[in-house]
Amino acid sequence: MKRNYLVVITILLFTYQQTIAQTYHEQYRPQIHFSPKAHWMNDPNGMVYYNGIYHLFFQYYPNASVWGPMHWGHAISPDLIHWKQQPIALYPDSIGYIFSGSVVVDKNNTSGLGMNGKPAVVAIFTQHDTAGEHAHTNTYQNQSIAYSNDEGKTWTKYNANPVLKNPGITDFRDPKVMWYDEGNKWIMTLAVKDHIAFYSSPDLKTWTEESQFGKDVGAHGGVWECPDLISFDDNGKKVWALIVNINPGGPNGGSATQYFLGDFDGKIFKPFTTDKKWIDYGPDEYAGVTYSNTDNRKIFLGWMSNWSYAQLVPTEVWRSAMTLPRNLNLMHVGDDMFIASKPVVELNSVAGKQQVINAIAVNPQFDLSQQISNLQLPCRLEFNAEAKSFSVNFSNDKNELLVIGYDEVQKHYYINRSQSGEVDFEKTFSEEHAAPRILNAKMIHLTIIADVSSVELFADDGLSVMTEIYFASKPFGQIQLKSDSGMQVNNFIYTPYKSIWK
Ligand code: FRU
């Protein structure tokens, strides 16, 4: 009898492991990035850190691999790297689909929604009413709230939704809420078509407009979406950053994330400069915003796709992954200031054995595959190079090629995926993309993180960032450094990564 039990348990365990193995290891499935087990995902939503857990909610359509009636999917992680998908957090209702938004921990119980002395976790999101949209009203996007008294596991929608009604503007969405300590109030940053509107509230239930920003500033090649307002400490002085996603109108076409640095006094945001700045110049970081409740640490994460082709990419079971989580910092360059992004250190939890090459003469090329044993993806390459034209070429024996480089004449970084595998599903996908070099320094410090279907470039300590997805028929197993003029590379570090899906 006992033996029978053991046999059954062993079979069950084996089946479970097999299922995980198949589920998270399909062709193109990223191995160090979050992706849903199945079906469609877009924006990250409601990112909040609470009691040792990072929550990641996301725009989710559980019935197909294309966009549809939006729900909030949910995943949790102890370290921002290993994720476990949870039951759906929010379902569409009579007020509408559940569009993007944020989550806060209501520590002072301003909403009165806390229970037994424990703060409520409150989600603030847009509800999109398709009936209103089809009837051509202009009031079909409204802001609602829901709360959780069990640390984000289950959610109850507030009984007097919506809490912020649409004044008659077709695009009125994606509330990002934060506690503004100096003014003892909540601030909501809302995307309103071609500008940002700031609202304040004492209790998350009643909202008053404070000001508007941005009609004549920044990029306006598309609609403004998914904003965020955060602050950095700059040697004892507070500097505010207003993040605004835009679709289309990004620096390399389609959707992208711009930002403004300035002052915020609880009512009005005043930018220091009006030039265009982008958190990530690549085509495949969108709707990126930061975690709430992480004190001075600013952790940013975006959707790793582009509205130009997100619904056409050649994955079937699941569609889209998130970028790696990144730490944001302020950096001074000359008289100007920028946001720099770096992959979070928690990524070390999946790092394998590093291999170091101290000095490499690239003249005109150097084959890493011969120096590094067991070269594999996902992996990280990190090195210092002279600021001369060079490239890092990933390839396989199917003649597929992904090129990441620096152009000394144009003073820009670039990624070319035109021969990287499947590229024909949309006409702009194979175009080359560029990011300006912002830093003026003789040496370039570069970090490249390549997964089986994405590459993230962090140049000059994260001042110039590019994220790109690609679909090679076989993982890249060869890497070459190339430089026509010849160049010196120092402190080259190769780190293989283990899969986050066991
Ligand atoms: C951005 C966006 C948001 C909206 C959501 C709908 O990608 O268009 O503005 O809330 O996606 O899924």
Q: What b/e readout covers 152-191, taking b as 16+ CB neighbours within 10 angstroms?
A: beebebbeebbbbebeeebbbbbbbbbbbeeeebbbbbbb
Mean pLDDT calculated for residue range 126-138: 97
Say yes or no to pLDDT of 218 above 90: yes
Q: What b/e readout covers 69-93, taking b as 16+ CB neighbours within 10 angstroms?
A: bbbbbbbbbebbbbbebeeebbebe
Q: pTM of the prediction?
A: 0.95
pLDDT number for residue 316:
87
Kind and range of the H or E run holding 327? strand 326-333
State the pLDDT confidence band at 88, using cuts at 50, 70 and 90. very high
Q: Is the domain of 103 the same as that of 53? A: yes
- The residue written with tokens 């070390």 in the block is 348
pLDDT number for residue 5:
64
Q: Is the domain of 334 the same as that of 383? A: no
- The residue written with tokens 């035109």 in the block is 418
Contact between 476 and 452 under an 8 Å Cβ cutoff? The reply is no
Say yes or no to pLDDT of 20 above 60: no
Tell me which residue range forms the domain holding 49: 38-343
Q: Is the domain of 168 the same as that of 90? A: yes
Does residue 10 belong to any structural domain of this protein? no
Q: Is the domain of 133 the same as that of 199? A: yes
Q: Is 173 in the pocket of ligand 1 (CB under 6 A)?
A: yes
For ligand 1, the distance from its centroid to the CA atom of residue 162, given in whole angstroms, is 18
Contact between 487 and 444 under an 8 Å Cβ cutoff? The reply is no
pLDDT number for residue 131:
97
Q: Is 228 in the pocket of ligand 1 (CB under 6 A)?
A: no
Mean pLDDT calculated for residue range 464-478: 97
- HEC-encoded secondary structure of 72-119: EEEEEECCCCCCEEEEEEECCECCEEEEEEEEEECCCCCCCCCECCEC
Q: What is the overall mean pLDDT for the chain?
A: 96
Question: Which atom of ligand 1 has the smallest separation from the CA of 303?
Answer: 7
Does residue 88 belong to any structural domain of this protein? yes
State the pLDDT confidence band at 14, using cuts at 50, 70 and 90. low
Residue pLDDT, tens place only, 135-162: 999 999 999 999 999 999 999 999 999 9
State the pLDDT confidence band at 21, using cuts at 50, 70 and 90. low
Catalytic residue flag (residue 171): no
Q: Which of 43, 280, 451, 460 is catalytic?
A: 43
In testing the pocket of ligand 1, which one of 90, 97, 99, 126 has its CB within 8 Å of the most ligand atoms?
Answer: 99
Q: Is the domain of 357 the same as that of 423? A: yes
Say yes or no to pLDDT of 4 above 90: no
Does residue 273 belong to any structural domain of this protein? yes
Q: Is the domain of 58 the same as that of 175? A: yes
Selected residue with higher pLDDT from 441 and 502: 441
Q: Is the domain of 61 the same as that of 111? A: yes
For ligand 1, the distance from its centroid to the CA atom of residue 72, given in whole angstroms, is 12
Domain of 440, CATH number, reads 2.60.120.560
Residue pLDDT, tens place only, 22-78: 789 999 999 999 999 999 999 999 999 999 999 999 999 999 999 999 999 999 999
Contact between 435 and 459 under an 8 Å Cβ cutoff? The reply is yes
pLDDT number for residue 502:
78
pLDDT number for residue 84:
98
State the pLDDT confidence band at 2, using cuts at 50, 70 and 90. low
Say yes or no to pLDDT of 443 above 90: yes
In testing the pocket of ligand 1, which one of 41, 59, 144, 322 has its CB within 8 Å of the most ligand atoms?
Answer: 59
What's the total number of domains in the chain?
A: 2
Does residue 389 belong to any structural domain of this protein? yes
Domain of 126, CATH number, reads 2.115.10.20
The last residue of one of the domains, among 343, 364, 397, is: 343
Q: Is the domain of 329 the same as that of 370? A: no
Does residue 16 belong to any structural domain of this protein? no
Residue pLDDT, tens place only, 395-415: 999 999 999 999 999 999 999
Does residue 30 belong to any structural domain of this protein? no
Question: Which atom of ligand 1 has the smallest separation from the CA of 43?
Answer: 7
Q: Is the domain of 329 the same as that of 473? A: no
- The residue written with tokens 């950096």 in the block is 331
Say yes or no to pLDDT of 264 above 80: yes
The last residue of one of the domains, among 343, 375, 398, is: 343
pLDDT number for residue 488:
95
